[in-house]
Structure 1
Amino acid sequence: MTDSPGVDDVHALALRMPHVTVVEGPKGNAVYQVGGKSFVFFRTPQPDAADPVTGEKHPDVIMFWVESEEDKDALVRDPSSPFFTTPRFDGHLSVLLRAVDLPRLSRDELTEIVQDAWLARASNRRREKWLAQQ
């Protein structure tokens, strides 16, 4: 990884987690899963994540699952955080991040986000085994 993380780092970190499969979405977007449950999802452009001035849909939104509403709130309410959500995801345990904003995170922060996303979706057995090895 470089000093400033990028999209390739998200892919590499997701693939490093155990029992991961990559599913290709209908438009070729990568969806990382553990036990059939998505934990990192590269979204296609959607109207809920668009430039407020031009209305142009952001083509680079990545969804990361989180463990709880509290975790989600902590990430999206922090004014220094690049994470966001939209009304479409009210009640959904995930946060969104534009790839263009990845350099606002450190490598360690990105690693933690991807690992936490995996932990939020992995089975108890897989989660406990992975945590015991860390």
Structure 2
Amino acid sequence: MPDPADRPARLEDVHALALAMPHVTVHDPDADNPVYQVGGKSFVFFRTPRPDAVDPETGERYPDVIVFWVESDADKQALVQDETTPFFTTPHFDGHPSVLIRACRLGEISRTELAEVIQDAWLSRASQRRRTAWLGRRPGQ
């Protein structure tokens, strides 16, 4: 029987998985573009439409861009250069340790993959003490 966690990711998974991480606060939780933070540092946020992320055919700004922090530029490049993933970046994020994905394309990755991206985003922003504590509680660690 297939693992239900390997179903296609959905928008509500982003919220649930980010909130499941320890010490998370949400800036503007009732807004369309909440910001998930750990220790006052954003690790996942929903972007407002910006001129650097547009549909190449229509020129319309993407209304559904989600930003995930990553640990390093190497991690960023691994995600955005892999043509099998929907992750991307824009010139606005050059030099910024983050990747972007459109909410309408979340279903192109599994919930398990999304969970890994969110956990990695959290780990990249959490304090050393919080990282160590969380990693120490994980099974098999």
Instruction: Return structure 1 stretches of 4+ with deviation > 3 angstroms.
Output: none
Letter matched to residue 44 of structure 1: T
Q: CA deviation at 1:90?
A: 0.5
Q: Secondary structure at the match of 2:134?
A: helix
Structure possessing the higher radius of gyration over alpha carbons: 2
Counterpart pick for 1:103 among 76, 98, 107: 107
1:68 aligns with 2:72: yes
Aligned residues of 2:76 and 2:98 also touching (Cα < 8 A): yes
Q: Secondary structure at the match of 1:50?
A: coil
Letter matched to residue 15 of structure 1: L
Aligned-pair Cα RMSD in Å: 1.4
**In 1, Cα distance between equivalents of 2:11 and 2:51:** 22
- Paired position in structure 2 for 1:46: 50
Q: CA deviation at 1:63?
A: 0.1
Letter matched to residue 117 of structure 2: I
**In 1, Cα distance between equivalents of 2:56 and 2:111:** 29
Question: Structure 2 matches for 1:14-33, cutoff 5 A?
Answer: 14-24=18-28, 28-33=32-37
**In 2, Cα distance between equivalents of 1:63 and 1:13:** 14
Letter matched to residue 51 of structure 2: P
Counterpart pick for 1:132 among 102, 121, 136: 136
- The CA deviation string for residues 2-59 of structure 1, in whole angstroms up to 9 with x for no partner, is 722111000000000000000018x641000000000000001111111011110000
> TM-score normalised to the size of structure 1?
0.95
- Paired position in structure 2 for 1:83: 87
% same residue: 65
Q: CA deviation at 1:94?
A: 0.2
Q: Secondary structure at the match of 1:96?
A: strand
1:118 aligns with 2:109: no
1:55 aligns with 2:40: no
> TM-score normalised to the size of structure 2?
0.91
Structure 1: gaps (5+ residues): none
Letter matched to residue 14 of structure 1: A
